[in-house]
Structure 1
Amino acid sequence: MHSFLGDLGLLRDRRFSLLLTARTISMLGSSFAPVALAFGVLNLPGATATTLSVVLTAQSLPMILFMLIGGVIADRLPRQRVMMAGEFLLATGYFGLAVMLLTGWTPLGALAAAAALAGVASAVTYPALTGIIPEVVPADRLQTGNALLGLGANASRVAGAVLGGATVVLFGGGWALAVSGAMFAVAGLLIANLRLTPGERARQEAHSVLADLRDGWREFRSRQWIWVVVAQFSLLVMAVQAGHGVLGPLMAKESLGGPAAWSAFLTGEAVGTIVGVLVSLRVRPRRPILVAVLLCLPTALPYVTLGVGAPLWAIVGAAFVLGVCFDVFGVLWQTTMQREVPPEALSRVSSYDVLGSLMFGPIGLLLAGPAAAVFGTQQALLGCAALVLLSTLAALLSPGVRNLRAPQPAAPVAQA
């Protein structure tokens, strides 16, 4: 068993503390941004929902398109420098949006270009983050490191949702976006001080980008447990996007009392993510991917409770369970990838993971409204629950998912 004090001892490591602080501040900036951007754009003269849709699409599309390239860059170059550049690009994009909103010069093309820059920066930063953690954290403490990084990120999401909304109300979307940009800049400066030495990652011969992508794909598909779970999540995320993005808020409006009920749902989920990190500090399953996939089964509960018209307290409780399960899943998944995938290919494999997991999400958003209109909101939510359960049960059929074992800690050497 690992003690909490032993886990927290990792915070005494200077490099990990810098990485944790940088990631926490960056996530706080990311949590400020959605509210600031949405209301900042919608409050522009003549702006409509279509205006906001164009800006958000300009941000999300480059993030998807450049994710694989981001993985290649992070495997080729020092990941510290890639992360630093990504944070500074995020700062540039959000400062650009802030200046436009504050000055009133807001042509749609310029807003979309700044948002696209932020999307490209996100595509560069995430694969580098996945790969840099094993360079900073000792192999036997990877799960602890991932859990503590998750704790900081989840706390930032909760705080950012509250503080970001308050900043928009008090000062306006432009100033809130400027605060986001400042946070990304601070995160970049902290990453610059990690001072990783070149010898901590093997040097690779130069290849074309396509060759690097093929090598990354080879590493990705050679591990059954990875591609099976990514296929599972492509369907699971589609259901979650539909349920969280459209059907859940619609159900809250129709029969639960409106925004306050949905806010309670999201709060329950957010609290669950923090508790999930604490759980992930304690559990060390011998079959981490099996346990991680099994934890996906309870994530259908929120859509079941919403679909059957359960009372609000039960729905919020189900959201809490979803938060716990997804967070423990995330820590086990990241830790196992970092242990099993060669360091020189880790960022590329991570980029395939993210791309595959998210690729059907927009389809879920697109189909949710028509499904509610044709079948009813409750039936559509039950359909989301069924998709979560079926995709998870299908993943459990994989021997790679069931049988992968975590390395066991070495036995202490007896003293003479």
Structure 2
Amino acid sequence: MTATVIRSAPADTDRPAHRDGNVLRWLGAYTSSMIGDNVYYLALSWAAVQAGTPSQAGLVMAVSAVPRALLMLGGGVVADRFGPRKVVIGSDAVRCAAVLAVAALLFAAGPGLWLLALLAVVFGTVDAVFMPAVGALPVRVTSHGQLARVQGMRGLASRFANVVGAPLGGLTVALGGSATAFGLAGVLIAVSVPLLISVRMRELPIDDKAAERPARRDLRDGLGYIRRHRVLAPLIAAIALGDFGFAGPLNVGLTLLADQRGWGAAGMGWVVAGFGTGAGAAALLLTVRGHLPHAGRLAGVAILGGSVAIGALAYAPSAAAAVGVALLVGLLAGLSGALCGALLQTHADPAYLGRVTAVAGLVSLGLAPLSMPVAAAAIGWWGTGPVFVASAAVCGLGGVLALCVRDLRRAELPR
């Protein structure tokens, strides 16, 4: 293999990330794209409901998950082979073009389910490449010592996008219909492209022989790299256990719990808001502090504490108490998630980071949602309390693993 090293270090790498213009441009691009995603998903769900039956609408919303899960690992290979910068810019451009094309077609004619399903498949397919590349970008735009702060800033941006995107999409649908909402989503995604182009990134050596190797060899090498790594292998296992135990109770389980306790939709909304507030506070803590000592140990303790809070949520005596417990769940889950993300970024060789991010994304977005129908069926058989406790135990195993594996327990974030 011959390689040519290109060093284009990001500007202002000695500055804190929240004062670095280069990082802020990247964050602006990420935020705009995420708000566009939220508007897109709301517009898609509304258009699908208007065009078909509820079951058909559910199918349209679900079809994007299939190519994303099937192609995610290949997307990590693409991100590492061609570089996350090119992949993110290219995939954002494709996402923008697809959404704007559907908006134009909907302006010209009524929505058809086939068109919406096709858009969902295209979006999911591109997401399989986009998401690993997005995960591999932070290490290219800032120094290692600022990665924890960048993870916090990214968490704040995600929360902001969730809070702003859905109401903005709903308002746009109400005023102009689904076509207008798709158009707005396309414009928001488009805004991210020039911002990303303006971001200076640290490049890796160029592998002249990469195009000659089969993609499956790169994938096999990446999986082998993770399997042999003393921090990454247990870390991804801990993430998988934590997310698998977390997804069921905090999604379908919470809805069933609110219905059984008579809290209603408003009560459930306050519980969800409590969780979001806690997660946002954790992201803000990392943004302000920039570094937390004993990161591996702290992540394990946070996962364990969050799992206890998940189990306690089913036994909250009132909606107000459930909001307080959800606030604690969000704080601990947000802290452990940000720390795990920062540890992935700092302990993975940047040449493998796309594949590492793809594997972590697959266990979170591909495997963890499988617990939702299982949790719903189990609640029907045994009730909310036992299922929440069992799910909390699965989640807690991730914390136990993090604390029992010496290299992960002793893992630190760079200063």
Give the TM-score taking structure 2 as reference length: 0.88
Aligned mate of 1:288, from 288, 295, 305: 295
Tell me, yes or no, if structure 1 residue 307 matches structure 2 residue 340.
no
The aligned residue for residue 10 of structure 2 is none
Aligned mate of 2:113, from 77, 86, 108: 108
Aligned mate of 2:160, from 155, 161, 168: 155
Tell me, yes or no, if structure 1 residue 135 matches structure 2 residue 140.
yes
Secondary structure of the corresponding residue to residue 157 of structure 1: helix
The aligned residue for residue 53 of structure 1 is 58
Tell me, yes or no, if structure 1 residue 396 matches structure 2 residue 403.
yes
The Cα shift of 1:85 comes to 1.1
RMSD: 2.4
Percent pairwise identity: 26
Aligned mate of 1:80, from 70, 78, 85: 85
Alpha-carbon spacing, 1:235–1:96, altered in 2? closer, same or farther (3 Å)? farther
State the alpha-carbon separation in 1 of the partners of residues 293 and 313 from structure 2: 34
The aligned residue for residue 121 of structure 1 is 126
The Cα shift of 1:11 comes to 4.2
The aligned residue for residue 68 of structure 1 is 73
Tell me, yes or no, if structure 1 residue 202 matches structure 2 residue 205.
yes
Aligned mate of 1:381, from 388, 401, 413: 388
State the alpha-carbon separation in 2 of the partners of residues 273 and 362 from structure 1: 20
Tell me, yes or no, if structure 1 residue 278 matches structure 2 residue 274.
no
AA in 1 matched with 2:300 = V
The aligned residue for residue 326 of structure 2 is 319
State the alpha-carbon separation in 2 of the partners of residues 342 and 173 from structure 1: 43
Aligned mate of 1:253, from 243, 252, 259: 259
Say if 1:234 and 1:358, in contact at 8 Å, map to a contact too.
no
The aligned residue for residue 412 of structure 1 is none
Say if 1:302 and 1:318, in contact at 8 Å, map to a contact too.
yes
Q: Could you give the per-residue CA deviations for residues 61-93 of structure 1, whole angstroms, max 9, x where no partner exists? A: 111111111111111113222111111122233
Q: Equivalences for 1:337-348 in 2 at 5 Å?
A: 337-348=344-355
State the alpha-carbon separation in 2 of the partners of residues 104 and 319 from structure 1: 44
Give the TM-score taking structure 1 as reference length: 0.88
Aligned mate of 2:244, from 238, 247, 251: 238
Say if 1:93 and 1:115, in contact at 8 Å, map to a contact too.
no
The Cα shift of 1:371 comes to 0.8
Alpha-carbon spacing, 1:376–1:336, altered in 2? closer, same or farther (3 Å)? closer
Alpha-carbon spacing, 1:358–1:224, altered in 2? closer, same or farther (3 Å)? farther
Q: Equivalences for 1:144-223 in 2 at 5 Å?
A: 144-196=149-201, 200-204=203-207, 205-206=209-210, 207-223=213-229
The aligned residue for residue 414 of structure 1 is none
Q: Could you give the per-residue CA deviations for residues 225-244 of structure 1, whole angstroms, max 9, x where no partner exists? A: 32223223323323322112
**After the TM superposition, which of the residue ranges 225-234 and 203-212 deviates more from structure 2?**
225-234
State the alpha-carbon separation in 1 of the partners of residues 339 and 30 from structure 2: 19
State the alpha-carbon separation in 2 of the partners of residues 10 and 107 from structure 1: 45
The Cα shift of 1:195 comes to 4.7
Say if 2:26 and 2:195, in contact at 8 Å, map to a contact too.
yes
Secondary structure of the corresponding residue to residue 40 of structure 1: helix
Say if 1:302 and 1:315, in contact at 8 Å, map to a contact too.
no
Contiguous gaps of at least 5 residues in structure 1: 1-5, 410-416
Alpha-carbon spacing, 1:309–1:7, altered in 2? closer, same or farther (3 Å)? farther
Q: Could you give the per-residue CA deviations for residues 336-389 of structure 1, whole angstroms, max 9, x where no partner exists? A: 222221111111111111113334323212212221211123332232222222
The aligned residue for residue 232 of structure 2 is 226
The Cα shift of 1:33 comes to 2.8
State the alpha-carbon separation in 1 of the partners of residues 398 and 412 from structure 2: 22
**After the TM superposition, which of the residue ranges 284-293 and 129-138 deviates more from structure 2?**
284-293
Secondary structure of the corresponding residue to residue 296 of structure 1: helix
The Cα shift of 1:172 comes to 2.9
The aligned residue for residue 363 of structure 2 is 356
The Cα shift of 1:139 comes to 2.4
Say if 2:149 and 2:290, in contact at 8 Å, map to a contact too.
no
Say if 1:40 and 1:101, in contact at 8 Å, map to a contact too.
no
